[in-house]
């Protein structure tokens, strides 16, 4: 079962949990933070919005369980952010 935590400046805690063999899910606005890059699963976004969308997915069961590539997810978030910043 995943270990959940949300904490600003939680990079040290996240690293310790992952080193202890825990699966860590975090919601973070910054895909470049140490917490985001260390976690098992990172959702890049605002906490209340992301958690309500996550809960909807869990309740409806629309997603299959399986492998999560956190690095690919962070890169996708960075692509979205960089595309949005140059469209101004």
The residue range of the domain holding 59 is: 3-86
HEC string of 4-30? ECCCCCCHHHHHHHHHCCCCEEEEECC
For the chain, how many structural domains are there in total? 1
The predicted-structure confidence for 1-58, as pLDDT tens digits, reads as follows 555 655 656 788 889 989 999 988 889 999 999 999 999 999 998 888 888 888 888 7
pTM of this prediction? Answer: 0.76
The pLDDT assigned to 67 comes to: 82
The predicted-structure confidence for 17-30, as pLDDT tens digits, reads as follows 899 999 888 899 99
């Amino acid at each position: 079962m995943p270990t959940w935590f949300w904490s600003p400046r939680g990079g040290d805690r996240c690293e310790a949990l992952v080193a202890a063999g825990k699966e860590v899910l975090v919601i973070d606005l910054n895909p470049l933070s140490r917490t985001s890059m260390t976690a098992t699963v990172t959702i890049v976004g605002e906490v209340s919005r992301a958690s309500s969308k996550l809960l909807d997915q869990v309740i409806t069961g629309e997603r299959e369980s399986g492998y999560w590539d956190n690095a690919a997810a962070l890169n996708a978030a960075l692509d979205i952010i960089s595309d949005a910043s140059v469209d101004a």
